[in-house]
Amino acid sequence: MQLRPPATGPLVLSLLFLSLFSTEAHNITRILNKFPDFSTFNHYLTATHLAQEINNRQTITVCAVDNAAMADLLSKHLSIYAIKNVLSFHVLLDYFGAKKLHQITNGTALAATMFQATGTASGSSGFVNITDFKGGKVGLGAEENGGKIDAVFVKSLEEVPYNISVIHISKILPSAEAEAPTPGPSQLNLTSAMSSHGCRVFAETLLASDAEKTFEDNLDGGLTVFCPGDDAFKIFLPKYKNLTAAGKQSLMEFHGVPVYQSLAMLKSNNGLMNTLATDGASKFDFTVQNDGEEVTLKTKLVTAKITGTLMDEQPVAIYTIDKVLLPKELFKAALTPAPAPAPETEADSPKPSKKKHLSPPEPDSPAESPDEDPADQTADKNNAVRFNGARIVAVILSLLWFASLQV
């Protein structure tokens, strides 16, 4: 009897197949839940929405402090916005595990923080100096303080190499700029902020619309604005001027969402999103989609891409987009395709003579119904893609099963 070598191919394929579905991103909340002494720090990461931003980043280090150190910070009675800045100063945009901290090239390193990435920090105020001292001691300090060492590395809490490192440091890193009072949302001049960052036409149009009050009324409770750039809105202005007063208000409100959405939240919360114009039967919603780092907003008529962040300070976020969002509720006519023109007859052409053997008629090609929605056709194509993907998975599994029978 001839013995066959074990068929390792199917096993390898199976493991590879399963690995595609077993990858799970890190979750800072779950990590810190294992350490009760860090519950206050964990709570404020969630309250300031930093936790979700951390979860959506790769190659990152969280410098966590225990409850006693957080009590010192809270005794300063900072606003929630200032606390967010302080905690974002404790999130380094590089990976520093225990081993790397003790093997820093030339003994010192300068690390950018999430506070620096917000654009709020000026100069070097968003950087942390890390120094490896003799005897195994590692110190950290705000670069804006001349690199003065304010805290020391205590221990590593959890490490996923080159993905996320959570370390315990002895105390809060002081930063005058991070702790500086930040204006409350009600003090924010929304249109001025947009005008000075490439959205002047949209801002001036909003000022002249009844929609401005709707935006202002939502500042304190949470607001996300998607602001078309000047070039995009200038092109759209002729269509805007043809709308009724109610239509103009709805169009402007369609570019606002009555909740705060950081960019990280938009990347993770794909799906339908209501707007300031949503009112019962008048849906006025759009779909948020992301492909890697790119976030798009899709209506039945247009797909706009987020091109920049003007502001991201809870509870207000303002993003620039490359197109004006067109709600189907205002532009239904654009969804109905124009009827096909009647076939032209050639007056001078001679009539064809009768033939004894007529060819069978060609089957009629399916005609597009004038009432059919192009967006729905797109949805059907998407469903087809998903179906084909399911077939591919089924074929792979069938091949694996068949190969296992040959062992």
CATH class of 187-321: mainly beta
256 or 292, greater pLDDT: 256
How confident is the prediction for the chain on average, in pLDDT?
Answer: 80
Residue 344 has pLDDT above 70, yes or no: no
The DSSP code sequence of 121-133 is S-TTTTEEEEEE-
Q: What is the pLDDT of residues 360-402, one digit of tens each?
A: 444 443 333 333 343 333 333 333 333 344 455 555 665 665 5
Q: Where do the domains of the chain lie?
A: 28-169, 187-321
**pLDDT > 70 fraction of the chain, expressed in percent and rounded:** 74
| Residue 287 and residue 269 in contact, taking contact as beta carbons nearer than 8 Å | no
HEC-encoded secondary structure of 78-110: CCHHHHHHHHHCCEECCCCCHHHHCCCHHHEEE
pLDDT score recorded for residue 352: 43
pLDDT score recorded for residue 392: 56
d(CA 218, CA 156): 42
Within the chain, what is the greatest distance between any pair of CA atoms?
Answer: 105
Q: What is the pLDDT of residues 190-210, one digit of tens each?
A: 899 899 888 999 999 999 999
pLDDT score recorded for residue 268: 81
d(CA 14, CA 398): 11
Residue 112 has pLDDT above 70, yes or no: yes
Domains 28-169 and 187-321 alike in fold: yes
The DSSP code sequence of 23-49 is -----HHHHHHT-GGGHHHHHHHHHTT
Q: In the predicted model, what is the mean pLDDT of residues 107-111?
A: 91
Model pTM score: 0.52
pLDDT score recorded for residue 116: 87
Q: In the predicted model, what is the mean pLDDT of residues 117-129?
A: 82
Query: Please, what's the b/e burial string for 325-356 (b: 16 or more CB within 10 A of its CB; e: otherwise)?
Result: bbbbbbbeeeeeeeeeeeeeeeeeeeeeeeee
> 84-93, 140-149, 245-254: which has the minimum mean pLDDT?
140-149
In CATH, which of 2.30.180.10, 3.40.190.10, 2.70.210.12, 3.40.50.720 is domain 28-169?
A: 2.30.180.10
pLDDT score recorded for residue 339: 58
Q: In the predicted model, what is the mean pLDDT of residues 301-309?
A: 94
pLDDT score recorded for residue 279: 87
Residue 187 has pLDDT above 90, yes or no: no
Question: Which pLDDT band holds residue 234 (cuts at 50, 70, 90)?
Answer: very high
> 179-183, 336-340, 356-360: which has the minimum mean pLDDT?
356-360
